[in-house]
Amino acid sequence: DTAVSQTPKYLVTQMGNDKSIKCEQNLGHDTMYWYKQDSKKFLKIMFSYNNKELIINETVPNRFSPKSPDKAHLNLHINSLELGDSAVYFCASSPSGIGGETQYFGPGTRLLVL
Amino acid sequence: GQNIDQPTEMTATEGAIVQINCTYQTSGFNGLFWYQQHAGEAPTFLSYNVLDGLEEKGRFSSFLSRSKGYSYLLLKELQMKDSASYLCAVPSEGFQKLVFGTGTRLLVSP
């Protein structure tokens, strides 16, 4: 059973398009995250949600809009895609988001903007 | 805020021992994580240290010194499959935001 799943795994699109990435976790966790990993492999938090409520927004451009319909899902919609958005986007989850909890990562979505 | 520093790349040979260092500065300490990330894959949890000292888990051990803001990951009896990036991360205070270092890319050669 896949704990944290993301779709699609690969996404190739043109500049200016709008795209969405979906994430689902079946671990029963309350907290979910979106990370961006750039070409230098630096992994940086973008957003976190706890029980559908936005907790962290790390000064991400407002072209990025996360949505959490329920605590098992956290989707990421990106408007007006730019070349610099090309990266790997990882979804993750943790039980409650407080303290030293292990985060479980999805397989990543490789976004290439042409 | 948090600041983490680790070497960019290391090489070692199969069967050897390698130590990957991580230094950190953080306004509040909530422990330190090590994650492993193989090329093209997701990061996976290796260890979490909140108290000083060495914690051993099979071939991998992790050490923490809170007073020095220093941790290391020790990999023994290296295998080819240990070639990966090793990410040091510290959580923020309150609701958890994991701040990652840039990662250390380890290449194990025969």
Given an 8 Å threshold on Cβ–Cβ distance, is B42 in contact with A105?
yes
What is the C-alpha separation between A53 and A58, in angstroms, rounded? Answer: 15
Task: List, in order, residues 6 or more apart from A82 with CB less than 8 Å away.
Answer: A15, A63, A113
Tens-digit pLDDT profile for residues B72-81: 999 999 999 9
Task: Quote the pLDDT of residue A98.
Answer: 76
With CA atoms as reference, the chain B residue closest to A50 would be B95
| CB-count burial class (<10 Å; 0-12, 13-18, 19+) for A84 | exposed
Percent of chain A with pLDDT over 90: 80
Task: Determine, for residues A31 and B98 on separate chains, whether the beta-carbon distance falls below 8 Å.
Answer: no
Residue B88: Cβ within 10 Å count: 26
Residues B62, B71: Cα–Cα separation, whole Å: 7
Identify which of A90, A100, A108 has the shortest CB distance to residue B91. A100
Please indicate whether, in this complex, the C-beta atoms of B30 and A99 are within 8 angstroms of each other.
yes
pLDDT at B34 over 80: yes
What average pLDDT does chain B have?
Answer: 93
